[in-house]
Structure 1
Amino acid sequence: RSPILWINSNCDTPSNRTAYMLELMRYVSVDVRGKCGNPLWNESLAITDPKQLATEKLNLVKQYLFTVAIENSLEYDYVTEKLWQPLAAGSVPLYLGAPNVDEWLPCYNYSCIIHLRNFTSIKDVANLINRLANNKTLYAEYHQWRNEENVRSSFIKMINYFQEANQHSIECLLCDMVYRHDHGRIRRKLLAAKNPFNDTFPSLI
């Protein structure tokens, strides 16, 4: 088995992900599942139920030291399951995406991901991956954040926010966003009009 897993079926993205990976694969072995690159499509992932698909992907990801987490787009705050699933499964993400991804990470100083923006060449990325794959001590450093005391408080706060969000309607979420954006001026007007979506909702700030 290769040290890296790449699951991808969207080959033409603004982030130019496929070209990046084809270059990386010149220097390091990558197991590919999907239609891009070396098409070794894993039929067990070709299912339609979202929950079952997520479970299958996590079971696959946890078998690999690294998982490619290059987003479709490289926009601020555009962070998707490509980052979360490897972290949840115990694989280190090879991340390229939101420039402010640090604000979304459970670790400090990008210490739980291979941050591809920090490398001057793709060959340098491959050299680091090969070194980590052959050094358990160095590789383990990318998992130190899993000790509860090492998890960023801002990340815990964010997780609590989204857990609470699941209990509220989209209208409540939008009202809360407006409230945090304008310090409550619009929300007070809504309450004065007896708005029906007046639910208590936590704030990230």
Structure 2
Amino acid sequence: MREIKVNFVDFWSNLDKTDNYFYNLLIKKYKVVIDDDPDILFYSCYGREYLKYKCTRIFFAGENVRPDFMACDFAFSFDFNKRENHFRLPLYSLYIDHHRKLEEVMALKTREEAKAIWNLKSKFCCMVVSNGDSPERLDFFKNLSKIKRVDSGGGILNNVGGKVADKLEFIKDYKFVISFENKKQIGYTTEKILEPIFTDSIPIYWGNELVNEDFNSGRFINHNDFDSQEALINRILEIDNNDELAIKMLMEPTFSTNKLPHEEEHIRVLDILCRIVEGDKKPVAKQFWIHIHRFKLELYSVKQNFKRYLKTFFKPEK
């Protein structure tokens, strides 16, 4: 078995370098060694350490950030992008492997199973959020809370006595879960819609306007389907008061028929990685383009700092 050296940088802080989506695919074909001088570097959007490496670079979009192909040789992101060196791999796909076996996510429930699950749901609705930059999400939480109690277990608007330690364990008792993305962007679908499905709850989703390309519209409540928050809230209350509607939703398949099956996705991603390893896809992110990319980052940083300065300088007096 051929040995390859890889490394992972600029990912979320708790990424396990020897137990993650890409590593677990590669070890099916190769002896994979984590090395500070790798043949292939996987990087995401939470830092700039990737700029130190001169090997083949593979970008993964962990946030609502588009790949800069000046810096990477290949990119996996949420984008519906037809480039030869890009493959659509939304963040939620990584959560399927991390949290649940595929058969658990895909398994259809009988009416009796769904009814028993719904009858165990003792609470109405919750939210677990620590990012306060989404006014749509906070506004909806406040408006729904005026009608019926909504629990908040995250760092924002917390009303349960502190941040919960285990999100999935917390939300499993709730009928509905507010599953708003941080930002609205075509194709950008994270774990937020999937986690309530893991716990047999009903997601209330806002974000990707093409979310129905990935998830079965019958399995969640889509903010985009309603003309107003009032209409959306009325639909939530209707389901809350009609067990048959809720049971029917729990019996629905998780994913859209348009979605590439998860096992087929594994095959395609591994095929891409193998072609990169075997040299069919040569590095194209030359050092000249890396320098241009670095200059763009510095320019962006200067612009952001200048905006913050203007906000502070021209902040109106209370």
TM range, normalised to the smaller chain?
0.5 to 0.7
8 Å contact kept, 1:5–1:67: yes
Using the size of structure 2 for normalisation, the TM-score is 0.45
Match of 2:240 in 1: 133
1:124 aligns with 2:231: yes
In structure 2, do the counterparts of structure 1 residues 58 and 38 end up closer, same or farther at CA, with 3 Å as the change threshold? Answer: closer
Of 191, 198, 202 in structure 2, the residue corresponding to residue 81 of structure 1 is 191
Match of 2:141 in 1: 21
In structure 2, do the counterparts of structure 1 residues 117 and 153 end up closer, same or farther at CA, with 3 Å as the change threshold? Answer: closer
In structure 2, do the counterparts of structure 1 residues 121 and 151 end up closer, same or farther at CA, with 3 Å as the change threshold? Answer: closer
Name whichever structure is richer in helix by fraction: 1
1:159 aligns with 2:262: yes
> For 1:13-62, what per-residue CA distance to the aligned partner results, in whole angstroms no more than 9, with x for missing partners?
3x6321222122222321111222344354442xxxxxxxxxx3222222
8 Å contact kept, 1:27–1:123: no
In structure 2, do the counterparts of structure 1 residues 139 and 99 end up closer, same or farther at CA, with 3 Å as the change threshold? Answer: same
Kindly report the root-mean-square deviation, in angstroms, between the aligned alpha carbons of the 2 structures.
3.1
Match of 2:214 in 1: 104
Distance in structure 1 (CA, Å) of the matches to 2:275 and 2:142: 41
8 Å contact kept, 2:172–2:199: yes
8 Å contact kept, 2:179–2:192: yes
Distance in structure 1 (CA, Å) of the matches to 2:190 and 2:255: 19
Shift of 1:102: 0.5
**Identity of paired residues, percent?**
22
In the alignment of these two chains, the number of paired residues is: 162
Q: Unaligned regions of 5+ residues in structure 1, if any?
A: 46-55, 176-189, 197-205
Match of 1:8 in 2: 129
In structure 2, do the counterparts of structure 1 residues 39 and 139 end up closer, same or farther at CA, with 3 Å as the change threshold? Answer: same
Distance in structure 1 (CA, Å) of the matches to 2:151 and 2:267: 37
In structure 2, do the counterparts of structure 1 residues 164 and 61 end up closer, same or farther at CA, with 3 Å as the change threshold? Answer: farther
Distance in structure 1 (CA, Å) of the matches to 2:161 and 2:264: 36
Name whichever structure is richer in strand by fraction: 2
Match of 1:52 in 2: none
User: Which entry has the higher C-alpha Rg, 1 or 2?
Assistant: 2
Please tell me the residue identity of whatever aligns with 2:133. D
Please tell me the residue identity of whatever aligns with 1:34. G
In structure 2, do the counterparts of structure 1 residues 160 and 11 end up closer, same or farther at CA, with 3 Å as the change threshold? Answer: same
8 Å contact kept, 1:70–1:97: yes
In structure 2, the residue corresponding to 1:35 is in which secondary structure?
A: coil
Shift of 1:74: 0.5
Please tell me the residue identity of whatever aligns with 1:71. E
Using the size of structure 1 for normalisation, the TM-score is 0.66
Of 170, 174, 181 in structure 2, the residue corresponding to residue 60 of structure 1 is 170
Distance in structure 1 (CA, Å) of the matches to 2:274 and 2:252: 30
In structure 2, do the counterparts of structure 1 residues 38 and 122 end up closer, same or farther at CA, with 3 Å as the change threshold? Answer: farther
In structure 2, the residue corresponding to 1:16 is in which secondary structure?
A: helix
